[in-house]
Structure 1
């Protein structure tokens, strides 16, 4: 008998990881990607000799990638090379002081001591608390399904003990008194779409996750991880079909039975796994008659994350003193975040993340040049900002700040610039409201309260990616694919997976 067919919608990290795991489980798998290259948010822009990673640039918990290759009997090192980054981040404060966030505790404590001696013991207590959160929130829960109320009930006492009702900023402020250090240890929720002043302190697990496994970068760029996974899938007889946007998920007798592409092609499926934004899938791809829980009204009540303005550009000179990852914090912190998340207005100031990958891999730019990427959190498209008018002047404002604080002379050396705005998140990446990370990671939109990995409305439909449990960030997205192994039924007649020896090398 033929093995059942699984169709994966989207080839971001979640979709590719899901395809590997489903294939190993014994499904006949096909991946459908709407864009002209794989990767989703992790796609690559190449032009004029520069290579720009469009999305994720920080790789943590590399074991999650190693697992995928090991499941197929391969070694990750044969497909992609990860190298550690030190410091993890260089943080530039408005007053001109700097802080290097590093893995080594003694170096970390020495910097804290130099900046605020009274906070050394406070940081030790904060790190211990973050480790306890990590042991529960990540080690025990990241790859567990939360689609039944009882899944949540048993963990509530642990969450109370960990003070999960507090926000990230609120918990850090309990231990740390220096405002600069409070900002240094609370910006990380922004990497998964959350406001440190409203995001549950569960997300402090990111701090310990980075301390535990470090921060890494893929030689050749993050896109090389995508290429490695696509190559692995090819060896496993899993096609990744490009320019294949799904328009509709067909439901028969309450069960997903096929996907229909734009243009009318129908592809039958026994299982459908979506790496697309669940808000978009429920409201645009599934007829309302099949949605008892995730109705249009229910989806509209959810709070989508903020969006991003990302500029990619080269420089005809290099900046050897710049760190691989730099966080450029403005004078305002809470006020700026309120503008982004609550007031939904484009603020006159900004805090920035600057990515300089040529610090680690000079091959990403022509000789003597720099490939750069600067990201600014901005309101999602519910703000009504006209990005066709605002993108250029906003980039000029960012360049002025970079020129003044971290890249002196950059404005006269910029070449090959391009932008990614909330409009591209909404239209090219099919994210509702142009949100960059799906739902905002508040306590009321985490775990059981987030979109479930197993659809409540349609049997045989599953979700991976930032919009579902456990949430955004590369570790969260890869962990969402692990959840599938607990909720997708094992095939009665599994398809054989090609062995190492039989794979096309």
Structure 2
């Protein structure tokens, strides 16, 4: 049965949901409060530079292919992905670096530079990440855990995979060199998690990267947003930018539409919010309709870490500095620094950096002879 569906927000979640729902035959309208689509993938443009606002690492291109296939289209007709090699260049605080990619022998040769004994441990670690990926991603990634019994059903499998350990502890079973432990455990930081607190299920990211690679969208992440806009428009979806939702209208426990900032009301059979969960409950749903997610509960909930990001362009290029497309520049401390950030809530002077240098792969996003960065 065809339904009228309103989607609040146009991040990748909202865009992906819109296309899938259109492919299923529904009537879909996207409401975005900013002046263009993208959400956290918003693109900032100034003086000939393009800066991707948020996501820069594409590790599962098949998920985009699935969306385009469902629409009867080919993803490669809409945007181009190119592989990054190395996936990351990781520097220690002295400037010594470690590269890794999906060439197994190359990665082993890089490990050998740091600690030859860890090559065997790495191979064991890599072997276990497939089992974690099969359970954590293939089987459970799209399963809703709506109550405690849902988690109990999979608990035995998760215990067997040592999901009770954090990522750093899990990696440390196999890798002995401290810098390499950091190099293979930093991934939760990409999604705002602490490697010393986040479940070892996130070790599956390493398998995901090894199996499908790390990619960059030519033209920047914004080219994917533009591709979604084109696809959704072709599918008959309606898109409204500069349109802020003030409230999700709820009747008898069911969302029945939205009220816009200007007072206009739009009816819907289903409302999908791609805004942050906490923001959605606290700001878009009247407290009388949320007995469980009260303001107090939302205030006391533990959230993943935000980022402080600087976008900058330079009037010359830096091609002789030893930088790669994706760079992780670690400071002298790891656990202590993360304790400062996640638990003590302070920013120390010896912080680590993620430095994105997309112009190394794609000069088109900066003026000739210039470089664009995101740190």
What range is the shorter-chain TM-score in? Answer: over 0.9
Deviations 1:80-137 (A, max 9, x none): 0000000000001013321002111110011112210111111111111111111100
**Residue 340 of structure 2: aligned partner:** 339
**Residue 129 of structure 1: aligned partner:** 128
Instruction: Tell me how far apart the structure 2 counterparts of residues 188 and 41 of structure 1 sit (CA, whole Å).
Output: 19
**Residue 493 of structure 1: aligned partner:** none
**Residue 172 of structure 2: aligned partner:** 173
Counting only pairs closer than 5 Å after superposition, residues 386-397 of structure 1 correspond to structure 2 as none
**Residue 407 of structure 1: aligned partner:** none
Instruction: Tell me how far apart the structure 1 counterparts of residues 298 and 129 of structure 2 sit (CA, whole Å).
Output: 32
Deviations 1:62-84 (A, max 9, x none): 00001111111110111100000
Counting only pairs closer than 5 Å after superposition, residues 452-471 of structure 1 correspond to structure 2 as none
Instruction: Tell me how far apart the structure 2 counterparts of residues 327 and 262 of structure 1 sit (CA, whole Å).
Output: 41
**Residue 480 of structure 1: aligned partner:** none
Instruction: Tell me how far apart the structure 2 counterparts of residues 97 and 77 of structure 1 sit (CA, whole Å).
Output: 37
**Residue 62 of structure 1: aligned partner:** 61
**Residue 203 of structure 2: aligned partner:** 204
**Residue 364 of structure 2: aligned partner:** 363
Displacement of 1:317 after TM fit?
Answer: 1.2
- What RMSD over aligned residues (CA atoms) do the two structures have, in Å? 1.1
**Residue 50 of structure 1: aligned partner:** 49
Instruction: Kindly tell me the number of residue pairs found equivalent between the two proteins.
Output: 373
Instruction: Tell me how far apart the structure 2 counterparts of residues 95 and 47 of structure 1 sit (CA, whole Å).
Output: 34
Deviations 1:238-278 (A, max 9, x none): 11210111111111111101111111111101001110011
**Residue 471 of structure 1: aligned partner:** none
Instruction: Tell me how far apart the structure 1 counterparts of residues 52 and 131 of structure 2 sit (CA, whole Å).
Output: 33
**Residue 327 of structure 2: aligned partner:** 326
Instruction: Tell me how far apart the structure 1 counterparts of residues 318 and 19 of structure 2 sit (CA, whole Å).
Output: 40
Structure 1 ranges of 4+ moved more than 3 A: none
Instruction: Tell me how far apart the structure 1 counterparts of residues 80 and 54 of structure 2 sit (CA, whole Å).
Output: 18
Instruction: Tell me how far apart the structure 2 counterparts of residues 253 and 272 of structure 1 sit (CA, whole Å).
Output: 15
**Residue 245 of structure 1: aligned partner:** 244
Instruction: Tell me how far apart the structure 2 counterparts of residues 294 and 129 of structure 1 sit (CA, whole Å).
Output: 37
Instruction: Tell me how far apart the structure 1 counterparts of residues 295 and 314 of structure 2 sit (CA, whole Å).
Output: 46
Instruction: Tell me how far apart the structure 2 counterparts of residues 193 and 17 of structure 1 sit (CA, whole Å).
Output: 22
Displacement of 1:322 after TM fit?
Answer: 2.0
Instruction: Tell me how far apart the structure 2 counterparts of residues 240 and 179 of structure 1 sit (CA, whole Å).
Output: 49
3-state DSSP of counterpart to 1:164: coil
3-state DSSP of counterpart to 1:186: coil
Normalising by structure 2, we get a TM-score of: 0.98
Normalising by structure 1, we get a TM-score of: 0.73
Unaligned runs of 5+ in 2: none
Instruction: Tell me how far apart the structure 1 counterparts of residues 366 and 70 of structure 2 sit (CA, whole Å).
Output: 34
3-state DSSP of counterpart to 1:64: helix
Instruction: Tell me how far apart the structure 2 counterparts of residues 129 and 33 of structure 1 sit (CA, whole Å).
Output: 42
Instruction: Tell me how far apart the structure 2 counterparts of residues 246 and 101 of structure 1 sit (CA, whole Å).
Output: 44
